[in-house]
Every structure is written in C-alpha cells, then in structure tokens.
Amino acid sequence: MDHFPTNWGNPRSEDVDSYNTYPVASNSGTVPHSVREIAGFGHAGGHPTSHTQQPVVTGTSVLGIKYKGGVMMAADNLASYGSLARFRDVERLHQVADFTVLGASGDMSDYQYVKHLLDSQMIKEYNADDGHTLATPNIYEYLWRVMYNRRSKMNPLWNTFVLGGVHKGEGFLGAIDLKGTPYQSPSIATGFGSHLAQPILRKEIENRGGEENITEEDATQILKKCMKVLFYRDARSMNKFQLATISAEGVKISEPMSVETEWAFAEKIRGYGA
C-alpha cells in the first residue's frame, strides 16, 4: 500500500499528474510557514487541508411532533456504516437542558462533537450561577450559528438536527440542516422520514384540527406508526427506537422499544421470498 496520503486518488506516476497535485507535501519544506497557513498547506505533517465531503457512520431519520402541552421525538438506535448495520445501541436523542432535547441524523461523529459543544455551553451557563440559563430557542439559535458557520468554511457538520423543547408553556420544534437552514414546524422528519413519515405526521395533525388536539397518548401512537412505516421501507432503519417526551414536567427519554411487524406478505414479493 502507498502510505503517502497525498498520492491517494492520484495517478501512480508523477509523470501523469494533470492536476499538479504531486509535490504538495514537499511544499512544507520550502514554503515559509506564514505562506503555508494562508495557502491552506498549513496543517500538521504538511498535508493539504481536508474537509468533510461525505458522512461515514450515519444515523437515519429523526421524527418530531408537537402535541398539547409539549413535543415528542423519535429516533432509532442504529448507526450504519454504509449499508452495514454497524452499531445497534446508539442513542440519537440527547437531553441538552431541563426542557430541551436534541435529535440527530447524519454523521454520528459530528453529532458527538455537537453534543459536546452544547453540553459545554450548558456548563458555562451553569457556572455563571446567576439565575440565567439557555432556553430551547436560545440553544436553537446557537446550533444554527454553529451549523451555518461550518458550512461557510466549506466544512459542514454532516447532520440534520431536530431540536424539541418547551419554552414559556409552548412547545418548540425546529430542524437545522448541514447548510445551516433553520426550519420550524408542528411536525418534522429528517432524511428518509421527510418522504415517508412527514406526510403521515401532517395528515394526523390535520385530521385532528391542529397539534393542540393531540394528546400525549395520540402522539406516542402516531410516532410508533411512523417508525413502523420507516422500518418497513427504509433499509437503513432498525426496529429498536426511543421516544423523547418534553413537557412542562421536563424531559423523559424512553428505554428502547420496538413495534409489531408483519412479514408474511414478503413471500409474495418477487425476488425476496421463495
């Protein structure tokens, strides 16, 4: 194997190098430090700056729905490595504050980094010890700034986040994607869920005449139904998921659960069954 990373993806011979990438590493010896910093050659080992261009270990859809008195969210416990169901006990719903939960789809290492950022912010607030804390809209704004800042550096955090919470007696539900686009709605579904679950969530809300007519029990059933649909049709999903409930009483994140599924029909699918 070629252990020289700047050669990776390039022609093996330096005689065939139409992009003139070959001598990049050697620049570290001849170019002054200040120039390297500006030109972007400045990282350790003299390798060129690298940016995230694709997610690696990924989580699939996160769902969120407002109901009377709060917000409920759902995400399964799977972190995939490509199409491989690599990690099957990952918690993708994280309690950030007393009344705020973060749900993450997309790259799981970026999610862990953002969790760390938010937890650090909350600790900073706590240490100020002055009676102020960050409420859900404040955390949302901060998350938005982080995501937009990173996309502006052409190095995005490869996630779509869902932030759910309760603030001043009202439910709060918002999403932010890797480009830093904020979006608030009575129901939110990321990734595959935006195609498969969001229509169901919207219809359920519409049929009841608005989220104010949805009880906590209704919301649980609606989300379970959506998770079942996602498990049937999203090949990166898993029938093991958690629900987060945020209400005036605080945050409750359930133990992992599953839904009943029926696979008898699969026999009749050409190319799947017998």
Of residues 142 and 192, the one with the C-beta less far from other proteins: 142
108 Rama sector, left if φ>0, alpha if ψ -120 to 50, beta otherwise: alpha
Of residues 132 and 268, the one with the C-beta less far from other proteins: 132
| Nearest CA-CA partner of 183 in 172, 169, 167 | 172
Contact assessment for residue 234 and residue 201, using Cβ atoms and an 8 Å cutoff? no
Of residues 100 and 105, the one with the C-beta less far from other proteins: 100
Mark 220-239 with x for binding to other proteins (rule: CB under 8 A) and - for no binding.
--------------------
| Nearest CA-CA partner of 100 in 3, 172, 154, 159 | 172
- Helix (H, G, I), strand (E, B), or coil: what is residue 212? helix
Active site residue 52: yes
Q: What token pair was written down for 192?
A: 């595959």
The minimum distance between CB 227 and other proteins, in angstroms, equals 32
Q: Which of 52, 60, 160, 190 is catalytic?
A: 52
Site for other proteins in 136-155 (CB under 8 A): 137-138, 140-142, 145
The minimum distance between CB 153 and other proteins, in angstroms, equals 17
DSSP label of 271: T
Residues that bind other proteins (CB under 8 A): 128, 130-132, 134, 137-138, 140-142, 145
- Residues marked active site are found at 52
